[in-house]
Amino acid sequence: MKIRYFPDTDTLHIEFRDVAVADTRDLDEDTLLDVDAQGEICAMTIEHASRRAGVPQFSYEQVAA
């Protein structure tokens, strides 16, 4: 997984899997989903991320199963 934040455009890009993107779908006017050839989500782009996703205040926690 790769998470990139672009402060100049306030855009957050989350890549779940490094695969070829077959289609990009609008979830809403500020959220895009990239899907592979099988329709599985491989990435997400969030515009206005500081307001909508709490960026740049970000934390990551791995929880044991």
Mention every residue, 6+ apart, whose C-beta is less than 8 A from residue 16.
1, 41, 42, 43, 44
* Torsion angles phi and psi, residue 51, rounded to 5: -85, -40
| Confidence (pLDDT) at 33 | 98
Q: How far apart are CA 35 and CA 23, in angstroms?
A: 5
DSSP structural state of residue 6: E
Decide if pLDDT at 62 tops 80.
no
Average pLDDT over residues 26-51: 96
Average pLDDT over residues 45-54: 90
| Confidence (pLDDT) at 20 | 97
Listed by start position, the domains of the chain span 2-52
Average pLDDT over residues 17-38: 97
Q: How far apart are CA 63 and CA 46, in angstroms?
A: 25
Query: Radius of gyration (Cα) for the chain, nearest Å?
Result: 13
